[in-house]
Amino acid sequence: MQIKKPRYGDPLDVRVERLNSDGEAVGRVELDSGAYKVFVERALPGEWVRTSVIRRRRAQLDVRAVAVLEPSAERVPARCVHFGVCGGCRFQDLAYAAQLRAKRAWVAELFERAAVPVEQLDEVAACDQPWRYRNKMDFTFGARRWVARDEPPDAEAGFALGLHPREQHSKVLSIEACEIQFAAGDGILRSARELARAHGLSAWDVRSHEGLLRHLVLRTSRASGEILVQLTTSAAAQDELAPFVRELLAAHPEITTFVQAVSTRLAAVAGGEQEILWSGAGTIRERLAGLWFEISAGAFFQTNTAQAERLVEFALEELAPAQHERVLDLYCGAGAFSLPLARRAREVLGVELVEHAVVNARRNAELNGVTNASFVCGDAAQWLGAERCASFDALLVDPPRAGVHKDALAVLAQARARRLVYVSCNPKSAAQDCALLAASGWRVVRARPVDLFPHTPHVECVLTLERRP
Report the domain count for the chain: 3
Q: Of the candidates 253, 288, 323, which is a domain's last residue?
A: 288
Q: Is 90 inside a domain boundary?
A: no
In total, the chain counts a number of residues equal to: 469
Determine, yes or no, domain membership for 143: yes
Residues 267 and 411 placed together within one structural domain of the fold? no
Residues 407, 319 share a domain: yes
Q: With 80 as the cut, is the pLDDT of residue 31 above it?
A: yes
Please check the confidence at residue 65 and state whether its pLDDT lies above 60.
yes
CB of 459 closer than 8 Å to CB of 99: no
Average pLDDT over residues 139-144: 95
Beta carbons within 8 Å of 122's beta carbon, 6+ residues apart: 446, 447, 448, 449
Q: Is residue 18 part of a domain?
A: yes
Q: What's the distance, CA 181 to chain centroid?
A: 13
Q: How far is CA 104 from CA 24, 122, 124, 127, in A?
A: 15, 8, 6, 14
- The verdict on 262 and 320 lying in the same domain is no
Q: Mean pLDDT throughout 131-157?
A: 87
Lowest mean pLDDT among 110-124, 162-176, 393-407: 162-176
- Residue that finishes a domain, picked among 288, 317, 343: 288
For residue 468, is pLDDT > 80?
yes
Residues 289, 342 contacting (CB under 8 angstroms): no
pLDDT at 3: 55
Q: Which of 54, 70, 86 is the last residue of a domain?
A: 70
- How confident is the model at residue 1, as a pLDDT? 46
Percent of the chain exceeding pLDDT 70 equals 99
Q: Is residue 161 part of a domain?
A: yes
Same domain, 394 and 455: yes
Domain assignment present for 317: yes
Q: Which residues neighbour 225 within 8 Å (Cβ) at sequence distance 6 or greater?
A: none
Predicted confidence band of residue 4 (pLDDT cuts 50, 70, 90): low
| Percent of the chain with pLDDT strictly greater than 90 | 82
Same domain, 279 and 149: yes
With CA atoms as reference, report the closest residue to 66 among 54, 80, 83.
Answer: 54
CA 100 to CA 105: how far, in whole Å?
9
> Do residue 63 and residue 125 come from a single domain?
no
- 311 with 458, same domain? yes
Domain limits for position 205: 136-288
Question: What is the 3-class SS of 155-189, one letter each residue?
Answer: CCCCCEEEECECCCCCCEEECCCCCCECCHHHHHH
377 is catalytic: no
Which 3 state secondary structure label does DSSP give 284?
A: strand
Checking DSSP bridges between strand 34-41 and strand 60-70, what pairing results, if any?
A: parallel
Q: Are residues 277 and 332 in the same domain?
A: no
Give domain status of residue 308, yes or no: yes
Q: Which of 29-38, 88-97, 301-310 has the lowest mean pLDDT?
A: 29-38
Considering the candidates 127, 425, 434, 461, report the single residue annotated as catalytic. 425
Least confident window among 236-240, 380-384, 409-413 = 380-384
Q: Kindly state whether residues 251 and 309 are assigned to the same domain.
A: no
pLDDT, one tens digit per residue, over 355-374 is 888 999 999 999 999 999 99
pLDDT given at position 154: 66
CATH code assigned at 24 = 2.40.50.140
Average pLDDT over residues 100-121: 97
At residue 280, the 3 state secondary structure works out as coil
Same domain, yes or no, for 186 and 274? yes
Do residue 365 and residue 218 come from a single domain?
A: no
Q: What angle, rounded to 10 degrees, do the helices at 184-198 and 238-251 form? A: 140
- pLDDT value at 299 more than 90: no
348 versus 298: which is more confidently predicted? 348
Q: Is 28 exposed, middle or buried (0-12, 13-18, 19+ CB in 10 A)?
A: middle
Domain identity same for 224 and 348: no
On whether the CB atoms of residues 173 and 164 are closer than 8 A, the answer is yes
Q: Residue 388: give its domain's CATH number.
A: 3.40.50.150
As a whole number of angstroms, the distance between CA 253 and CA 323 comes to 46
Residue 264: pLDDT over 50: yes
Average pLDDT across the chain, whole number: 94
Q: Is 356 exposed, middle or buried (0-12, 13-18, 19+ CB in 10 A)?
A: middle
Q: What CATH number is given to the structural domain containing 232?
A: 2.40.50.1070
